[in-house]
Structure 1
Amino acid sequence: MAAKSILARVRSLYGRFERPVSSLSLVGGFVFEALTLRRVDLFWDNFWVAVHLAIVAVCAVWINLLPDSSNGNTASPETDPHRLHFWLVNVMQFFFGGLLSVYLIFYFRSGSIGTSWPFLLILAAAFIANESLKRHYARLSFQIALLFFAIYLFAIYVVPMLLHRIGTSIFLISGAVSVAAIGAVLVVLARFSPQRLTGRNRTGVFGVIAGVLIVVNGLYFLNVIPPLPLSLKDAGIYHSLVVNGPGYYTVTSEQQAPGLLGPFGFLKRYLGLRQTLHIRPGDSLTVYTAVFSPTDMRTKIVHEWQYYDRAKGEWITRGRILLSVVGGSDGGYRTFSVEPAITAGPWRVDIETLGGQVIGRLKFNVVVQSAEPPLRTDTIGAQPRRPKARSAGGPESASPLPAAAEGNWMSASAGAGRVEAHAMRAGHVTRKDNSAFFINLGHDPA
């Protein structure tokens, strides 16, 4: 009797303070996940997402097996804490909020607000509105729409990790997997409660599935969805970059703008704030990026250099540099490209997938002046270990590590406003004239 009394009191208290408790738990969960979610390819992080999806699916089916949950024919059982329906709706709402928070974190880390803001806005709005949508959770079509959307967003980045590839064909496979998964849920529901999938319910369910498919595919082909599982971990615009070894660089930048990921780098990258760079006539600029890719995934990215032609009122592409990325490093795979023909005015460099999805965007204004600006020197990456060399008949000694000792390299030269790149073997790159410059295809940092 005492246990039943305590349980009844808990139900009553939760019913009275449901809204603040639910809101607090949702915000707390978001903060916790933002601090603890590390990499999109970690097993336990994805296992946790899969558990959330399974719980939402079980609740959706269970709610529709209850005799009092048919299209609101009873007096709002989802508002009565003494009814099972109430607790299933709350559990489903809570775990769907958890899914939205995970997706918002992962996709926000992967994209650029300048190009992905419509998709990120949809996720943020759904996350914020989750608390006010509780009365809709009683509708089967609403439950299926949420579940299918959550499955789809999960498949978009999990399927590429399983297949070690990204691209349009992989995205379409992700869609097929999502349709199969939601189809399995509907088969289970039809098996145990066939009356829920008849008439207007059936039309509504298939309508929302088609709607989610159209919206997600439309956003993808508009290059609005961030390119998970890739993400930009670090980036910077520099006056010069010297390769000291695999993934170990010396860079020079203006003292007032020490690279994109300084104290305000987060705002510069995600809010599209511009840097102002001062160069002398004929100077070049270097863009450095570190792009995260899951373990065992090899892909290619593009650095697209563009300047704004004020006379034409449009962005003009100066060069597209193809770079390789190898997955597995926490800090991202390091690459860089150089533009030797810099002119005054607005510039931007898009870091893209081959399909055109923007991983990140660097925006800057160039001012040409006769005096050299004050520069600072920094290093990127850890200094590589030097191999030991044994002299004839003597003890082992350390020998310098050549700059091109390992890794893939490209030699590129600019001509007529475009950049052409040619792959070359490591250690065989030679500088023939002043028009040539080098592009590091990247090294897995130590």
Structure 2
Amino acid sequence: MDAGRLSIGGAGILWFLGRREALMTIQPTPDAGAEAPPWWRVSGPYLALQFCFGGLFSALFIFYFKSSSHFLAILWALGLGVILVANEFLEDRYRRFALTWALFGLCAMLLLNFVVPHVVGNISAIWFYLSTLAGAGLAHLLHLKTPGQPGRIKPVWGIAAGLILAYLVDAIPPVPLVNQDIAVGHALVKANGEYRLQQEKAPWWIFWRKTENEIHLASSEPLFCVAAIFAPTGLDTRLYHHWRYYSEKQGWETRSRIGFNLSGGRQGGYRGYSFKRNLAPGKWSVAVETEDGRTVAIHRFVIADAPLAIDAPMWLQSL
């Protein structure tokens, strides 16, 4: 069951619950001896709503977690994971319509944040703002059309403002772009449709990764960075390799920002590369960024003082 159907199902259940709530306020109170309705008639719609929200947050968590590549974005995705888990224990709270409207509005906004750039083939900031407002407006419209208009809808607009603020501080992953891989190395060749990057092999005791984080370069030797970024078919945009150096006095300093065009559709991700020469010893990073500076991927490494040893073990990575 896809996210779109879950959204429509959740909207229908919300409308039904609002209508039922409105009818209960105008119908006479049943006699004390009247038979109580079966549990499934009372609790069934809430369980169905819980199922819809669970499916939506599960899909959204996967979408956003796969696009997370730096601290704030990972925190954001984990926050969605917390909501996903909490949803399993919120059945009784769904009787509070303010909460259900807030959750529905959040789902609508996040889903449109993902879908709209895919449909229009563009990830500009304007589409994030418009899709966020559209999601909040959709929830507000459904609230207006629901009989009795139960619960408050204002929290949805507060969530929309929070999403826009999170976007401005680069906390929201740049969906639908997904980082497949990013690496730096000494030499880069293209053969049989693959990029092959020569990298320094990590010592055997660093078993959790294959390549060395400290890179040894000869004088004027270039260092290549290759990133594979997945984008859906039809999405064409421009990305940038943002090379930065860490200075003890100034912190992270931009050394260059090199652009390349991305065309979506390749399953393994579209490969873009750049290179730099004469890198000073110390801490470096290369971030893959959108045109408006949102981080898609980031790779940090250290340039050593000494050149590469002749017998240094190397590893060839295919991207």
Match status 1:155 vs 2:112: yes
Which sections of structure 1, spanning at least 5 residues, go unmatched? Answer: 1-46, 75-79, 269-273, 382-446
Give the structure 1 partner of residue 19 of structure 2.
65
In the alignment, the residues of structure 2 paired with residue 90 and residue 334 of structure 1 have an alpha-carbon distance, to the nearest angstrom, of: 45
* Mapping for residues 178-189 of structure 1, pairs under 5 Å: 178-189=135-146
Report percent identity of matched pairs: 25
Give the structure 2 partner of residue 299 of structure 1.
237
Give the structure 2 partner of residue 275 of structure 1.
213
| Residues 81 and 87 in structure 1, CA contact (< 8 A), matched pair in contact too | no
- Which of residues 273, 277, 284 in structure 2 aligns to 1:340? 277
Q: Paired residues, what number?
A: 306
* Mapping for residues 190-229 of structure 1, pairs under 5 Å: 193-194=147-148, 196-197=149-150, 201=151, 204-205=152-153, 207-229=154-176
Letter in 2 for 1:59: I
Give the structure 2 partner of residue 105 of structure 1.
62
SS across alignment from 2:293:
coil
Deviation of 1:118 (Å): 3.5
Match status 1:132 vs 2:89: yes
In the alignment, the residues of structure 2 paired with residue 89 and residue 356 of structure 1 have an alpha-carbon distance, to the nearest angstrom, of: 41
Deviation of 1:257 (Å): 7.6
- Which of residues 119, 122, 125 in structure 1 aligns to 2:76? 119
* Mapping for residues 344-383 of structure 1, pairs under 5 Å: 344-372=281-309, 374-378=312-316, 380=318
| Residues 321 and 337 in structure 1, CA contact (< 8 A), matched pair in contact too | yes
Match status 1:56 vs 2:10: yes
Letter in 1 for 2:13: C
Which sections of structure 2, spanning at least 5 residues, go unmatched? Answer: 31-36
SS across alignment from 1:336:
strand
In the alignment, the residues of structure 2 paired with residue 255 and residue 347 of structure 1 have an alpha-carbon distance, to the nearest angstrom, of: 19
Match status 1:171 vs 2:118: no
In the alignment, the residues of structure 1 paired with residue 214 and residue 38 of structure 2 have an alpha-carbon distance, to the nearest angstrom, of: 59
Residues 101 and 130 of structure 1, relative CA distance in 2, 3 Å threshold: same
What do the CA deviations read for 1:38-84 (whole angstroms, capped 9, x no partner)?
Answer: xxxxxxxxx710011111112212222224877xx99xxxxx97142
In the alignment, the residues of structure 2 paired with residue 155 and residue 99 of structure 1 have an alpha-carbon distance, to the nearest angstrom, of: 12
Deviation of 1:294 (Å): 1.3
Give the structure 1 partner of residue 33 of structure 2.
none
What do the CA deviations read for 1:273-312 (whole angstroms, capped 9, x no partner)?
Answer: x922223343321110111111111101011011110133
Deviation of 1:264 (Å): 4.4
* Mapping for residues 232-271 of structure 1, pairs under 5 Å: 232-244=179-191, 247-256=193-202, 264=209
| Residues 281 and 368 in structure 1, CA contact (< 8 A), matched pair in contact too | no
TM-score calculated relative to the size of structure 1: 0.63
Which structure has more RCO (C-alpha within 8 Å, separation ≥ 6)? Answer: 2
Give the structure 2 partner of residue 40 of structure 1.
none
| Residues 179 and 297 in structure 2, CA contact (< 8 A), matched pair in contact too | yes
In the alignment, the residues of structure 2 paired with residue 214 and residue 164 of structure 1 have an alpha-carbon distance, to the nearest angstrom, of: 25
Residues 90 and 81 of structure 1, relative CA distance in 2, 3 Å threshold: farther
In the alignment, the residues of structure 1 paired with residue 42 and residue 172 of structure 2 have an alpha-carbon distance, to the nearest angstrom, of: 35
Instruction: Between 59-68 and 156-165, report the one with greater CA deviation.
Output: 59-68
SS across alignment from 2:90:
helix
- Which of residues 170, 174, 178 in structure 2 aligns to 1:231? 178
Residues 92 and 112 of structure 1, relative CA distance in 2, 3 Å threshold: same
| Residues 257 and 275 in structure 1, CA contact (< 8 A), matched pair in contact too | no
| Residues 248 and 379 in structure 1, CA contact (< 8 A), matched pair in contact too | no
In the alignment, the residues of structure 2 paired with residue 379 and residue 359 of structure 1 have an alpha-carbon distance, to the nearest angstrom, of: 21
Structure 1 runs (4+) deviating above 6 angstroms are none
SS across alignment from 1:279:
coil
Letter in 2 for 1:62: F
SS across alignment from 1:301:
strand
| Residues 182 and 298 in structure 2, CA contact (< 8 A), matched pair in contact too | no
In the alignment, the residues of structure 2 paired with residue 64 and residue 84 of structure 1 have an alpha-carbon distance, to the nearest angstrom, of: 15
Residues 136 and 244 of structure 1, relative CA distance in 2, 3 Å threshold: same
Letter in 2 for 1:50: G
Deviation of 1:242 (Å): 2.1
Letter in 2 for 1:111: S
| Residues 216 and 306 in structure 2, CA contact (< 8 A), matched pair in contact too | yes
| Residues 234 and 289 in structure 1, CA contact (< 8 A), matched pair in contact too | yes
What do the CA deviations read for 1:350-375 (whole angstroms, capped 9, x no partner)?
Answer: 11111111111101122121442614
| Residues 66 and 85 in structure 1, CA contact (< 8 A), matched pair in contact too | no
| Residues 10 and 104 in structure 2, CA contact (< 8 A), matched pair in contact too | yes
| Residues 65 and 74 in structure 2, CA contact (< 8 A), matched pair in contact too | no
Larger radius of gyration: 1
SS across alignment from 2:89:
helix
| Residues 349 and 361 in structure 1, CA contact (< 8 A), matched pair in contact too | yes
Give the structure 1 partner of residue 34 of structure 2.
none
